[in-house]
Amino acid sequence: MDRFSALPVDLLPNILQEIIPPNHLASVCLVNSTFHAFGVQFLYRRIFIYSWHKEAKVKVRQLLRTLANCPHLAKHVVQLTLRDFPRAMIASTEREQLMTLSLQAIRSCVNLRSCTLTRDGSLSNDIILTLQQAQHLAELEINGHNFFYFKPGLLPDFKHLRKISLIMPSPEVLNILSIWVQNTAPTLQHLTLLCQSSNAVTDELLETLSEYMVNLEYLYLVGCPKVTHVGVWAIISKSEVGLRGLGLEDVSPSFDIHRLSELCAVSQSLRRLKSITLTVESRSSTSQSPWTWGVTSLLAASPLEFFHVSSLGGDLKAAGLDDRFCHNIVAAHGERLRRFSVHRLRMSLDAVRDICARCPKLEQLFVVLDRTDLNELGLCLSVAKSLRAVHVNRPIGPESDSESIPVVPRELVLSILRQSGLPALKQIGFNTRVNQVERLPRVNENGEVEMELQLGPYESPEIPEQFLVVRTS
């Protein structure tokens, strides 16, 4: 410890930023005053609480109380993500106290740049008004169900946001969206609408929004069955800077991918597109389907780096991603691809082998494989020298549940890691489990030091990329 303390203080932030688990950072803050001064900044800079965290609602209360009563700590908060909120089953007086605490906490976060409040009922009129006073706020993700909670007419007073994400927006919120987008037009770069089969998000709405979204770079639509290529083209065509990320999940069955690709080809509108997220309504297979040819054509002129595709449903044991489609995507974009992500669509081991062999910059690979393919997976991965994260799901039928999915044995996972021999691989997961790859030195029988592979728990406070509802770059 004495030798470590002799290091220049300027190096300490670079060291501490490599410490991920919050409990480890909390321990760092207890070392001495110097460690505390630097460590507390990293501990509070990005805060995440999710509904599946143990006693999440209790943690939300404790956090709000800390931020409200300790402005010297709250000033370090840059990103605040609360995906749970102790709203249900509390008396009105308790709710009033909780809201008062929330207001004090938000006011104390004077450097807040990103705020996420996605739990139904976590937003109120007063919280909206308080957030609007946050001078640095640039990103807002909220639950858009306003019923009894807040007045939608307050939202357009957020006039300087870079990113707006609405989760399950009510028709009343969508009705004021065009005014809101118009007010924030000079700065708005990212719009996400995550619905549950909402009929209120239509081509007409997107056409109206497009008039004000000339600076838009990222558009993600989920669960919007009334949206076709007409509305999406309106957004794409009006973006003067060009989209860099596009997500179209569960949109209209009438969506004409061929027509959209023709329009984009003429105008070169997707010449900056680096990330695409798509779903296909696959009842059997994508083999030789018009959809696959349309996607290939749509992306022909794009410098793609992140590719995501999934299925809307059907029998997932039969549904599959055509090898030729994978081959064509890799042939066109393999030199740049950093992530190849497939969900709810079975793949062949040959397709995975081709992806690994021809994508030299590949860092993340998420695929769906049969259990019998796992014995050869390590050799397939071995040629992807830049690979940092792998996740494998197994094909399941429509009546399957998470409890019926067998856990991949630990020894098999370690065997795959040893076969791959990839020094950069840091994370590996199967189905619902994610592990960090740890390499620990040990002395063998010959007295030589060698690295032993072990599986550790996932330590980042953020959701693993492969589990995100909206998968972006």
pLDDT on residue 5: 66
Check: CB of residue 117 under 8 Å from CB of residue 142.
yes
What is the C-alpha separation between 410 and 424, in angstroms, rounded? 20
pLDDT on residue 284: 45
Lowest mean per-residue pLDDT among 28-37, 273-282, 458-467: 458-467
Band of residue 465 on the pLDDT scale cut at 50, 70, 90 = confident
Lowest mean per-residue pLDDT among 4-13, 68-77, 284-293, 430-439: 284-293
Quick check: 129 pLDDT over 50? Answer: yes
**pTM of the predicted protein model:** 0.91
Of 352, 325, 189, 340, the closest CA to residue 277 belongs to 340
- Averaged over 213-228, what is the pLDDT? 96
Q: What is the 3-state secondary structure (H, E, C) of 411-429?
A: HHHHHHHHHHCCCCCCEEE
β-bridge pairing 427-430 and 433-443: antiparallel
Check: CB of residue 415 under 8 Å from CB of residue 378.
yes
Average pLDDT of the chain?
90
The predicted-structure confidence for 235-280, as pLDDT tens digits, reads as follows 999 999 999 999 999 999 999 999 999 999 999 999 999 999 999 8
Is the model more confident about 222 or about 441? 222
What percentage of the chain reaches a pLDDT higher than 90? 71
What is the C-alpha separation between 278 and 217, in angstroms, rounded? 17
Quick check: 315 pLDDT over 70? Answer: no
- Averaged over 312-321, what is the pLDDT? 65
| Residue-level length of the chain | 473
- Averaged over 304-310, what is the pLDDT? 96
- Averaged over 182-211, what is the pLDDT? 95
